Amino acid sequence: MTATGTGAERVRRRRDKLRAAGLRPVQIWVPDTRAPGFALECARQSRIIRDAELQAGHTEYESWSAVSDMDGWTA
């Protein structure tokens, strides 16, 4: 054993400090980036977002064009 203790003791002390700081451990499940089809699914979702943003931008441009037409208005 070293002066700082075993690996398990260091981990316990670190976790105790984190808990004392108001944190708690959690376990989360995330997609496996190595899984077959993962990259294809990322690309599919990216296309959906891109298309939605392009459509929203086009609609926003049309809206501003309509309200910025001030021909015939006087102050």
pLDDT at 1 over 60: no
User: Global pTM?
Assistant: 0.47
Q: Out of 16-25, 40-49, 65-74, pick the least confident.
A: 65-74
Give the Cα separation of 46 and 8 in Å (integer): 43
* Per-residue confidence (pLDDT) for residue 66, from 0 to 100: 72
pLDDT at 7 over 90: yes
Is residue 20 very low, low, confident or very high in pLDDT (cuts 50, 70, 90)? very high
Q: How big, in percent rounded to 5, are the helix, strand and coil portions of the chain?
A: 60, 0, 40
Taking the C-alpha atoms of residue 75 and residue 71, their distance in angstroms, rounded to an integer, is 12
